[in-house]
């Protein structure tokens, strides 16, 4: 791989810092991937309180106040698909993942995305490198070590080409300015360098990493877990979904337990023979 650019070095430092200050909410994935559950709004008590708004003014303070009756209600609401109470709690994740994983992830549209933009900054100069497990199917490695060495060289060459061409473009722009061909740079974004970044990013692979903030309510998050943690989900997005689930379950263990119970019952019912 090519030498890391400044954006990538800064990101590496930030990941290490987050792992240090928030270790229970962060996980590393693959050779450069990362995910953190940065914040949550609401909890299991929020769900119960919103569901009971028409029946009582009594409010639970937190999941620590739950009785068996409250847990049964939480289970019944989720089992019977009373969806809106589960839309009242939110989760904000930050994850660093290959672009091809993002293309699958963004299909879960009932959520909010803010993604790192290569229009304004140079790319993260790191690409996803499949490990042995990622390239093995039923004990057979579909790509051997020689292929992986060529893969890694190709990724590195693409990032090197980007840096080389961007440096040349910047020198050309500044030379034109010095000769009066282009106007002097004013404050804010340089449109000439910006256009160079926009064009050069077209050559980068979908294995390149990107950086995303993802804000999602629990109803949508449950659907993401249900679909992307299945055995037939693509290996890479399943890694991220499993990591997101682990962080979620650490934060709200009661809700995670109830969700698993409901999803297990659903899977069992789907596998039952039809009469």
Contact in structure between 195 and 157 (CB atoms under 8 Å):
no
What values do phi and psi take at 136, rounded to 5? -115, 130
Q: Which residues of 155-171 are buried (b: 16+ CB within 10 A; e: fewer)?
A: bbebbeebbeebeebee
DSSP label at residue 162: H
Catalytic residue among 72, 197, 228, 238: 228
Four-point Cα dihedral 25, 30, 31, 35, nearest 10? -30
Residues whose CB is less than 8 angstroms from the CB of residue 160 and which lie 6 or more positions away in sequence, other chains included: 2
Q: Count other C-beta atoms under 10 Å from residue 258's C-beta.
A: 21
Residue 228 is among the residues annotated as catalytic for this protein: yes
Alpha carbons 191 and 206: distance in angstroms, whole number: 25
Q: Is 32 exposed, middle or buried (0-12, 13-18, 19+ CB in 10 A)?
A: buried
DSSP H helical ranges for the chain:
6-21, 44-51, 68-79, 99-105, 145-178, 191-200, 218-228, 235-251, 253-271
Q: At what angle do helices 218-228 and 253-271 cross, to 10 degrees?
A: 50
Which value, in Å, is the radius of gyration of the alpha carbons in the chain? 23
Q: Count other C-beta atoms under 10 Å from residue 34's C-beta.
A: 24
Catalytic positions, please? Answer: 228
């Amino acid at each position: 791989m090519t030498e890391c650019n400044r954006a990538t070095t800064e990101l590496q430092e930030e990941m290490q810092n987050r792992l240090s200050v928030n270790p229970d909410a962060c996980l590393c994935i693959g050779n450069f991937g990362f995910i953190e559950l940065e914040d949550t709004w609401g909890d299991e008590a929020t769900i119960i309180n919103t569901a009971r708004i028409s029946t009582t003014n009594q409010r639970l303070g937190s999941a620590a106040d739950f009785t068996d009756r409250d847990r049964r209600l939480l289970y019944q609401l989720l089992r019977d698909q009373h969806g809106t109470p589960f839309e009242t709690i939110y989760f904000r994740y930050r994850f660093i993942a290959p672009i091809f994983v993002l293309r699958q992830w963004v299909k879960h549209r009932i959520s909010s995305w803010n993604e790192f933009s290569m229009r304004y900054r140079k790319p993260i100069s790191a690409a996803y490198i499949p490990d042995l497990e990622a390239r093995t199917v039923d004990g057979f490695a579909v790509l051997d070590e020689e292929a992986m060495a060529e893969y890694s060289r190709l990724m590195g060459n693409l990032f090197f080409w980007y840096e080389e061409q961007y440096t040349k473009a910047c020198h050309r722009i500044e030379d034109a300015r010095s000769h009066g061909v282009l106007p002097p740079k004013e404050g804010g974004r340089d449109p000439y360098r910006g256009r160079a970044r926009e064009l050069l990013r077209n050559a980068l692979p979908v294995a390149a990493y990107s950086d995303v903030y993802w804000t999602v309510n629990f109803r949508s998050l449950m659907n993401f877990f249900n679909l992307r943690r299945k055995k037939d989900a693509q290996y890479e997005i399943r890694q991220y979904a499993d990591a997101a689930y682990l962080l979620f379950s650490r934060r709200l263990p009661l809700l995670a337990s109830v969700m698993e119970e409901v999803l297990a019952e659903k899977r069992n019912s789907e596998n039952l023979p039809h009469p």
